[in-house]
Amino acid sequence: MASTVSERVEALREAIALGAQRVTYDGKTVEYRSLKEMRDVLADLEAQAAGRPRRRRRYAVYSSGT
């Protein structure tokens, strides 16, 4: 049985609150690289649960090479 978005949101919130970087739901385990990545995924899931797309902003970064 596939997990619902709300189950995934709850599992991710709990992991963030505990300071864990590994989340297990519906027999699957996901390991995140950082708290920022977890928060970004949580925001995406919450937007999906609310039925609205999340806006993403992209910024170009340039370096002078020195």
**pLDDT of 53:** 63
Q: What is the pLDDT of residues 18-39, one digit of tens each?
A: 999 999 888 889 999 999 999 9
Q: What is the pLDDT of residues 2-17, one digit of tens each?
A: 468 888 899 999 999 9
Cβ-count burial of 12 within 10 angstroms (0-12 exposed, 13-18 middle, 19+ buried)? buried
| Residue 29 and residue 38 in contact, taking contact as beta carbons nearer than 8 Å | no
